[in-house]
Amino acid sequence: MLNVLNKPYPFDDDLKHNSKIIFFISIGVIAFLWLFQPLEISLLDTKKKQYLIIGLGFITFLSLSLNLLFIPSLFPKKFTSSVWSIKKEIFWNSWILFTILVGYFFYTNALGVMKFNFYTVIKLVLMAILPISVLIITNHNKMLRSHLKFADDLNKKLKENKLIQEKVIHFKSDYQKDSLAIKVSALLFIRSANNYIEVFWKEGDTIKNQMVRCSMIYAEEIVKEHKFIFKCHRSYIVNINYIDRFEGNSQGYKLFFENVNFPIPVSKNSATKLQELI
């Protein structure tokens, strides 16, 4: 039982959302009292009836605002999903219910419209449970929708990333026999070589390379949609996922790839952008 009570529970710390919920619950309490008129409200004269109904709605508004807006804002570290649990949620909602009941008690007593007995307390408890139940259900549904949307978006991104990784890029050569097609996920880097480009890619544990007769501008166009492919120098385009290390000295910056025996220069203008991407 204790294990269940100590399980995490998402505390809704969205103050803007809670403000809207508090407002609508308070209006709902007023509408409920006016339409169904419990607690012998129908026996009261019109003026006292209006005072009672509006007052109880206002007390509901004050109690919920205090417990869902003011206190969480005052002690934000105590009211985060990372430390919240089912036990705390039960306690907090019981506390909110208690503050509403105390408010109802003192207000109706000051107004002198009813005498408190066991039957009256039970009816007040049932009335106070209504806004709390609405609050719990609303927040639960909001959290559920939020988590489902997050999971759905994440799954879509994972699927998109897998599709991107599996996508084949084609380097068409001016000489058809030199054309090359590889998976974008296997590309290490591209190096300019006069009228050619030299493509380096990984195949298993082996690094392969091939000359393709085409321009660097053409190569940039082919890979431009992939954010992890970056032109770090006028003569080099690299896949940042394969960078082994980044070094800097008085001559500038250099990239190193595993099992590649030469460094790749990084232009001064590209260094900051590359740092952001990595």
Please give the average pLDDT of every successive group of 10 residues along the chain, which has 278 residues.
68 82 88 80 81 91 92 86 78 86 85 71 71 69 70 67 71 84 91 92 90 92 87 91 79 84 87 76
Query: For residues 113 and 268, what is the distance between their CA atoms, to the nearest angstrom?
Result: 80
pTM of the model: 0.51
| CATH number of the domain that residue 208 is part of | 2.40.50.1020
> 219-241: b or e for each residue (b if 16 or more CB lie within 10 Å)?
beebbeebebbbbbbeebbbbee
Identify whether residues 91 and 216 lie together within a single domain.
no
Identify whether residues 202 and 145 lie together within a single domain.
no
- Domain span at residue 24 reads 2-162
Containing H/E element for 26? helix 15-36
Identify whether residues 178 and 157 lie together within a single domain.
no
Here the tokens at position 194 are 């006069």
Identify whether residues 11 and 146 lie together within a single domain.
yes
Inter-residue contact 199 to 207 (CB < 8 Å): no
pLDDT score at 54 = 92
Identify whether residues 155 and 181 lie together within a single domain.
no
pLDDT score at 197 = 93
Domain-ending residue, one of 139, 162, 185 = 162
Identify whether residues 82 and 119 lie together within a single domain.
yes
Identify whether residues 46 and 106 lie together within a single domain.
yes
Query: For residues 140 and 93, what is the distance between their CA atoms, to the nearest angstrom?
Result: 13
**SS3 assignment, position 93:** helix
pLDDT score at 44 = 79
Identify whether residues 138 and 225 lie together within a single domain.
no
pLDDT score at 139 = 66
Query: For residues 63 and 143, what is the distance between their CA atoms, to the nearest angstrom?
Result: 22
- The amino acid present at 19, given as its one-letter code, is S
Report the number of distinct structural domains present in the chain. Answer: 2
Containing H/E element for 265? strand 264-266
pLDDT score at 160 = 63
Residue with tokens 């709605």: 57
pLDDT score at 122 = 74
Residue with tokens 């009836």: 49
Identify whether residues 19 and 142 lie together within a single domain.
yes
Q: How many CA atoms lie within 13 A of 76 on its CB side?
A: 4
Residue with tokens 């660097």: 216
pLDDT score at 161 = 59
Identify whether residues 92 and 24 lie together within a single domain.
yes
